[in-house]
Every structure is written in structure tokens, then in C-alpha cells.
Structure 1
Amino acid sequence: MMMTATLSAQTISFARDGNHILDNVAMQLSSGEIVGLIGPNGAGKSSLLRVMAGLQQADTGSVSLSLDDADKKSLNDFSGRERAQILAYLPQQEIPAWPLQVEHLVGLGRAPWHTPLTGKSPADKQAIERALEQTELQSLRQRIVTTLSGGELQRTLLARVFAGEPQIILADEPIAALDPYHQLHMMELLAEHAQQGGAVLAALHDLSLAARFCSRLVLLHRGKVVADGSPIDVLTTENLQQVYGISAYVDCRDEGVVIIPRKRVL
């Protein structure tokens, strides 16, 4: 069974080469949520995900984690292995360094659960098989990952995340390289993870899919949170014009919000 978990970022600021990437950002992610992190290129989405994953140190502010309603602890108070068991990060455009078979790369997701040089346990093997099945990769299990298409590789990396059975998933543009079928499949899997008690924060550029699958959207612009709320409250014509610089048709339906860009607003 999954624990309940809350991951919180408080007053996060981060600069690189004198450029302010994140400016006093605060947000919270809790079990049962799939949250879309949206905003134009350069808004700070990737940097925020890396800070919340503990992979990038913020200049100011902190990231805390609470498990099963216990008091919040700084993410830095958890060991690397503990963090990896609870939280998984799916990067953008990862290039495998070694010509591993798909099933072996997926198996690396089990690393936090056993000590080095020990063989895979029955639980490890079961988790790997389940991850391959979830992502429909059984037929590719023996393929070398360096021969995969971009979409096949992205599905393999997601399977590695699922194999680790994390509570929290932080995903950076998880559907960017996928065709429409696999975009929907990827979002369905992430939404199912949240429905089962997990938590997902995903940086997304497809606003219609973000509105369709996410319970909440956080809109970033120039390193600041412009809006945080339900898709219908965040994806307004005013926000789209202010943040994205576009005039768009916004159609609110039962299954979500459909965004049709009309023209750039100069």
C-alpha cells in the first residue's frame, strides 16, 4: 500500500549566470493529485522540478516532505536511497549511456530497493514485469535502448520509473516525443498512479491534455507562479494572452478544457 505524502516547496528562488530562473515560488503536491506544471519555454518548469526532486539546490527557500501525516522534514534530511524509494524523477530527453536491453534499463528502477551486487528478488522481477506490461513494452524487452525511437525510449524511461514503485513522480515533458496514442497512454498511466494514491507533477506543453488529465494546473511565467488551481480557472483567455502571448479559443467541456490558438499577440 502507498503512504500518503505531501511534497512542498517554500519560497524557492534560483538564479543562473545572473538570470533569475525561479522567483519566490511556493507550491504543494499531495497524494491523489496529478498536477500539470505549465508555462512557456524558459518559465522555470524544469528547474522547479529538479529543485523539488532534490537534484538542484535552490539559492533560497526549502523543499519538505511529509509521509503518512507525520511532521514535515526537509528533503535533505532523507538519505539518497530513501528519497529514491519515495520519489522518482523522469527527465527530459535522457540519452542512455550504455547499450542495455530495454528490460535491463527498466530493471535499474529497482536499484533503491536492494544493495549492490545482490540479485533481483521475486518482488523486483514482479515489479519489472508489471512496468513492462503497463507501458506495452513486452515485445521490445530485448531491444537495445540505443536503437529505440524517441517515443519508445520515453516509454522505457517511464517503465523504469514505475518499476521503482515510487509514491511521487516528477516528470519533465513526459509526452513530448510521443505520438497521440502513446501521449494518451502515458497520461492515463500517470493519472492512474494518482488515483491509486500516488502523486504526480508533470511539466506539460499540450494544454488541452493537461486540462483533460490534471486535477490542478500551476502556471509559471518568468519564474513566478501566475495561477494555481483547477484547469478551468487557470486556462483563461487573459492568462493565455498574458503568459503565452496568444489569442486563443477556450472551450470548457465536461471532459476538460480545449485550447485552440488563434494568433500571436504582439
Structure 2
Amino acid sequence: MTLLSVQNLSVRRRKREVFKNISFDVQEGEFISLIGPNGAGKTTLMRAVLGLLPHSGESSLANKSAHARAHTVAWTPQSREIAWPVSVERLVALGRLPHLATGQRLAPADQAHVDGAIARLGLETFRDRAASLLSGGEQARALIARALAQDTPLLMADEPIAGLDPAHQISTMQMLRTVADEGRAVMVSIHDLGLAARHCTRLLLLAGGRVLADGGPGDVLTPDLMAEAFRVSIWHEETERGAVFQPLEVVT
């Protein structure tokens, strides 16, 4: 089932064309990583897809009402500032708001989604702690848990593992892959190409104002494409323990 359809999407900002005529679909069960060099427009593309930025072209999400969109996609932006000292449990529970009538309290089924999201991100010991007092990486995990608790068919996150330590980067990518394997779709932007190679089912390489490549990690993380998009040489091998990818040197 197609959860997101994007056709000929283009964005101009400050009189500069960020990208033009980008088209792709997102299907159930996919774990898609949006990759590309700094300034390629990854965040801009995700925000335009959600209808948060002016654009031309079509996105099946952009024209939905806010209520309908909240039932279709959960969005975790790159900004992680938590201004209010609410508990982690209450922060995660905010993900259930689209499913509640005004003033309605959490039902047992809603609480189960909250508890499940907290457990999946390993936040049980932080449940009663003020979210605003957590470290940056802990706040990132709490915000991902809020998105999981929303229980939408599609989860989108902008650099969800930035600032996490290696163990939590790996566990978060494993968890997101499990979410996709369970039948939802996940789309993230990410800079760690090694983790993208190991965990994602599909990569969208954005560079030069267009989608330079779209396919499985083995089809996208090639020497020629990495040299064109990132100006780096690479080592990429399938091993008994999964894919291993490493940028090596800057090439000219």
C-alpha cells in the first residue's frame, strides 16, 4: 500500500532553487533513508512533503487537514528543544492527542501505546524525570518515543540519531527497522552512511537539486555515486555480520 506519493515537487527559497521535479512513493514496510551532502535540501524536502513549506508539485500529505495528517504521519523535526519541564511520560503521551477528543483522558489503549514507546526507546528509568532536564541525546529519544506513541502508518524524522552515542544510534536504527518490518513505513534523513547501509531497505540520494539515485543500499552506495555526491572514495562490503560501509578519502 502506498502511504506517500510525491510528484514533481520543487522548492525555491530566497530566489534559489533548492530542488526541482522530485518524485517518489513510499510503501508499507519500507525503511527509507534520505541521504546527501550538507545543503542538498534533505530537511527542506521533508518539510515540503509535509506541507510545511511553500512548494510546487504534489504531495499526498500536503493537502490533508491537520487532523487527517496527524493520523497519517508522525513527524520528528531536527530541533529538539523541550521548553516545558513536563515528565517524559507526559511528553510521550502528547503523541496520543490526535486520537483524543478535547479534554478526553488517556484510555488504557492509549496508555499502552505510551508505555510501549517508552520501552522501545529504553526510557523506563526516565519516565518521571522532567524532559527538559535530560541530555540532548535523551531528549532526542524521548521525542522519537512521542512519535512512536502517535501510532501512524508513516513515521518521518529529520536526523533522529544525531547526537546519540554509538550504542543508542545502533539501537534506534534497529528499532526503526523493526517498526518498518511490522508493516509501517519509516523515512529519516541521516548522515551516517554506514548505519544507513546496515539498517535501511532503501536510500534516496539527494544531490545537485535532484534525486541522484533511488534504490537499495548496494545500488546507491557505489564508488561512482559517492564520488559524485560527496566527493569521497569508499569501502563497502557485504560481510557475515551485514553491510560495512566506510568513507575513506576526499577525491577531486
TM-score, normalised on structure 1? Answer: 0.90
Alignment of 1:147-186 (within 5 A): 147-186=133-172
Contact in 2 for aligned 1:219/1:227 (Cα 8 Å): yes
Contact in 1 for aligned 2:12/2:19 (Cα 8 Å): yes
TM superposition outliers: structure 1 runs of 4+ over 6 Å? none
Q: Which residue of 2 aligns with 1:109?
A: 95
Q: Which residue of 2 aligns with 1:30?
A: 27
Contact in 1 for aligned 2:88/2:127 (Cα 8 Å): yes
1:217, distance to aligned residue in structure 2 (A): 0.6
**Aligned partner letter, 1:50:** R
Tell me if 1:188 matches 2:185.
Answer: no
Provide structure 1 residue ranges, at least 5 long, that are not aligned to the other structure: 66-74
Alignment of 1:106-145 (within 5 A): 106-145=92-131
Tell me if 1:234 matches 2:220.
Answer: yes
Counterparts of 1:262 and 1:36 in 2: how far apart (Å)?
Answer: 21
Counterparts of 1:125 and 1:215 in 2: how far apart (Å)?
Answer: 31
Counterparts of 1:97 and 1:143 in 2: how far apart (Å)?
Answer: 14
Q: CA RMSD in A?
A: 1.4
Counterparts of 2:242 and 2:212 in 1: how far apart (Å)?
Answer: 21
1:188, distance to aligned residue in structure 2 (A): 1.2
Counterparts of 1:264 and 1:21 in 2: how far apart (Å)?
Answer: 24
Pick aligned residue for 2:132 from 125, 128, 146: 146
Alignment of 1:211-222 (within 5 A): 211-222=197-208
Counterparts of 2:250 and 2:133 in 1: how far apart (Å)?
Answer: 39
1:84, distance to aligned residue in structure 2 (A): 0.4
1:21, distance to aligned residue in structure 2 (A): 1.3
Pick aligned residue for 1:208 from 182, 191, 194: 194
TM-score, normalised on structure 2? Answer: 0.95
Q: Which residue of 2 aligns with 1:61?
A: 57
**Alignment identity in percent?**
41
Pick aligned residue for 1:49 from 46, 50, 55: 46
Counterparts of 1:260 and 1:129 in 2: how far apart (Å)?
Answer: 37
Counterparts of 1:211 and 1:261 in 2: how far apart (Å)?
Answer: 12
1:256, distance to aligned residue in structure 2 (A): 4.4
Counterparts of 1:217 and 1:55 in 2: how far apart (Å)?
Answer: 23
> Residues 29 and 40 of structure 1: is their aligned pair in 2 closer, same or farther, counting only changes over 3 Å?
same
Counterparts of 1:212 and 1:255 in 2: how far apart (Å)?
Answer: 9
Provide structure 2 residue ranges, at least 5 long, that are not aligned to the other structure: none
Counterparts of 1:224 and 1:105 in 2: how far apart (Å)?
Answer: 37
